Structure 1
Amino acid sequence: MNSYHTSGITTKTALSVLVLLLSSIIISCGGPDSSAPSSQRSESELRGSGDETSALRIVATTTQAGDLLSILTENVEGVELTKLMGAGVDPHLYQPTERNIAAMNRADMIVYSGLHLEGQFDAVFEALRERGVTIYAMSEPVNRAGFIVPSIDEGEAGSASDDPHFWFDPRNWILTVNGTAELLSAKLPEFESVIMENAVEYTAQLELLYEWALTGLQSVPEGQRYLVTSHDAFQYFGAAFGWKMAAIQGISTQDEAGVGDIEDTVDFVIENSIPVLFVESSIPPDSIEAVIEAIRDRGGDVRIGVRELYGDAMGEAGSFGGSYIGMLASNVLTILQSYIAAGVDITLPEWPGEMETSIPQVMLNYN
């Protein structure tokens, strides 16, 4: 089934639901500014000294969106940033809660990933857009530049859909950085120079990241550059670094993998002598474990990656994988270290000295 089709909820109905939910929050919680549970409160941060009425209220849906907005608004006063999704959350399946909707209803701007990654939000976005809230898809500049990968979701009679995982090519993320910085500058013209300086400095870091990752991943012999994962989130990654992708599920995680999907993956891994399969942090390992068991039943030799890959969500806030740069670097290290552990002769690339973050020593101890 194609999980990216919006439900049959009309915009008017969605707005009615929005109002009803907000009414219930006001009655039961004493208003939309009442204290949220700690899990939500820890994901909301107030920047600068702007008062409650003058702050530019921004809501970020995914972990990647929240990370980028935090970077671009550093040293920018009067911005209230609320991050909806936390580490390990699957945005394909995530449904906005009452508190999420309350935060979005108060927002001046909502920044989301786009290309139907947050498919459960579509009706709410449309309702808020009609009320004058700025709704911005981070995928917009990538789409406009023509760098979106089309995919086929076989569940809808072969209907075409766009792969939403554009951020796995750092060159795409640079386009996203620039597009989001331009939007913020238009909203906060008095801080335009600060925002654009943040964007320039961050872009330089992303360029270093791309070159480092390319060097490492290209060191793997071409015939062995296969990445087999739970769901099809890494096509952009493969295109960026010259790897071939294979996944048990399609671009969404809504539908469970069937027996045929498992068998097809087993055949593919055996035929191509792929030594490692990878689990993703936001998806249960069941399907990958089923493939590994089936391969071993046939006498094959395959192992699981030395750690999970970050797919649709980043790691815990404050951890190395809790930033975009750390997330992508962690994935590259995990892939290379896993292939080394499987006997492939690879030399890990040296981390650039100009990078503002360092790789934790614990990640270099993978045996």
Structure 2
Amino acid sequence: MIRRSFLMVLALVAAAPMAALAQQPLKVVATTGMIADAARQVGGDLVEVKGLMGPGVDPHSYRQTRSDIVAMTRADLVLWHGLYLEAQMEEFFHDLARKRAVVAVAEAIDKSKLRAHDDYADKYDPHVWMTPELWRDVVVEVQRALTELRPEAAETFAANTARHLAELDRLAAYAKEALTKVPENNRVLVTAHDAFGYFGRSYGFEVMGIQGISTQSEAGLNRIGELVDILVERKISAVFVESSVSDRSVRALIEGAAAKGHEVTVGGELFSDAMGEEGTYEGTYLGMLDHNITVIAGALGAEVPARGMNGQLSAGF
């Protein structure tokens, strides 16, 4: 009897660390801020998320640092975008996937929904976060990955996902409402690189990037000259800079148009490949898109709420 009780105590003591371990948050590493936000929205208190690329960081050219490698090799789950966004890191992710749970979340999107990549054959435009309708699929893939690792929390992950998808649906409705107020002849979006193709397709805007889909493509003098001619001929009065791309080429457009007697101004700074500062509304996916939608619509002639859909934008339009 005494021996049995002793063995039971030993079993309980041995089980205690395992039970405590099961309750610890999953350690998740995400490459972009947008994916990190999705993991936090879905995982809630059950995840501890580290994002590798902060505000202003260009994922097209990013290479993993030594501290990134340490974080990813110690993580329970690594989430990366895929679709050739993190072009400099792909080989590392494929190697890491042999040892850890590694998921390219945007690869789950049905290819029929994607735009062909102008610069690389058999690849697709990776900027799927530019519309909430496409980003929903990424959020659902994040839910799947977390649930696979911690199935006992499936109901919590499902409830969190449903709440966040409802927020994305509201954001999509705001986008359509605000952007349809832009006069049709003003629906031209000129930016530093071609990150807004899905945005243009969804909301009926003609999109022109100085560089291609990747910021690694060259912005040649011929391309800048072509765009200057378009700005002048079509009397386009606003162009946009991006938070993660140098504004040098955009400034060259403005100067080129001015040399031909046409005034072009900067309509605002957009978040293209990275979100805003951590701890701000713009540092969330909802805030990032709310900012872009509100700034684009307002600069091109629509009446928009001064501080966006939720009244939380840090600077009124």
Residue 337 (structure 1) shift = 2.3
Greater shift in the superposed pair: 98-107 or 290-299: 98-107
Residues 305 and 311 in structure 2, CA contact (< 8 A), matched pair in contact too: no
What corresponds to 1:281 in structure 2? 243
Per-residue CA distance 1:46-96 (angstroms, 9 max, x = gap)? xxx9659965322100010111111111132xx332211111110001110
Distance in 1 (CA, whole Å) between partners of 2:253 and 2:163 is 43
Residue 256 (structure 1) shift = 3.7
* Equivalent position to 2:70, from 81, 99, 102: 102
What corresponds to 2:95 in structure 1? 127
SS at match of 1:57: strand
Distance in 2 (CA, whole Å) between partners of 1:235 and 1:119 is 19
Residues 215 and 349 in structure 1, CA contact (< 8 A), matched pair in contact too: no
Aligned partner of 1:249: which letter?
Q
Residue 248 (structure 1) shift = 0.4
Residues 75 and 194 in structure 1, CA contact (< 8 A), matched pair in contact too: no
Residue 108 (structure 1) shift = 2.6
Greater shift in the superposed pair: 62-71 or 101-110: 101-110
Distance in 2 (CA, whole Å) between partners of 1:206 and 1:223 is 28
Residues 281 and 308 in structure 1, CA contact (< 8 A), matched pair in contact too: yes
Residue 145 (structure 1) shift = 5.6
What corresponds to 2:43 in structure 1? 73
SS at match of 1:130: coil
1:261 aligned to 2:223? yes
What corresponds to 1:338 in structure 2? 299
* Equivalent position to 1:57, from 24, 27, 33: 27
What corresponds to 2:57 in structure 1? 89
1:136 aligned to 2:98? no
Distance in 1 (CA, whole Å) between partners of 2:219 and 2:141 is 36
SS at match of 1:150: coil
Residues 152 and 160 in structure 1, CA contact (< 8 A), matched pair in contact too: no
> 1:151-300, aligned counterparts within 5 Å?
151-153=117-119, 159-300=121-262
* Equivalent position to 1:150, from 116, 126, 129: 116
Aligned partner of 1:136: which letter?
V
Aligned partner of 1:314: which letter?
M
Residue 164 (structure 1) shift = 0.5
Residues 212 and 351 in structure 1, CA contact (< 8 A), matched pair in contact too: no
1:363 aligned to 2:315? yes
**TM-score normalized by structure 1?**
0.77
Residue 349 (structure 1) shift = 5.5
Structure 1 unaligned blocks of 5 or more:
1-48
Aligned partner of 2:165: which letter?
T
What corresponds to 2:280 in structure 1? 319
Judging changes above 3 Å, is the alpha-carbon distance between structure 1 residues 53 and 120 closer, same or farther for their aligned structure 2 residues? farther
Residue 98 (structure 1) shift = 0.5
Residue 294 (structure 1) shift = 0.4
* Equivalent position to 1:348, from 298, 304, 307: 304
Residue 195 (structure 1) shift = 0.8
**TM-score normalized by structure 2?**
0.88
Distance in 1 (CA, whole Å) between partners of 2:306 and 2:204 is 20
Judging changes above 3 Å, is the alpha-carbon distance between structure 1 residues 61 and 122 closer, same or farther for their aligned structure 2 residues? same
What corresponds to 2:5 in structure 1? none
Structure 2 unaligned blocks of 5 or more:
1-18
Cα RMSD (Å) of the superposition?
2.1
Greater shift in the superposed pair: 193-202 or 249-258: 249-258
Residues 63 and 314 in structure 1, CA contact (< 8 A), matched pair in contact too: yes
Structure index of larger Rg: 2
Distance in 2 (CA, whole Å) between partners of 1:167 and 1:150 is 16
Distance in 2 (CA, whole Å) between partners of 1:139 and 1:249 is 22
SS at match of 1:279: strand
Distance in 2 (CA, whole Å) between partners of 1:99 and 1:130 is 20
What corresponds to 2:15 in structure 1? none
Distance in 1 (CA, whole Å) between partners of 2:201 and 2:254 is 26
Aligned length: 299
Aligned partner of 1:329: which letter?
D
What corresponds to 1:38 in structure 2? none
Residue 358 (structure 1) shift = 3.5
Per-residue CA distance 1:190-240 (angstroms, 9 max, x = gap)? 111111101001111110111111111111122220000000000001111
Per-residue CA distance 1:18-53 (angstroms, 9 max, x = gap)? xxxxxxxxxxxxxxxxxxxxxxxxxxxxxxx96599
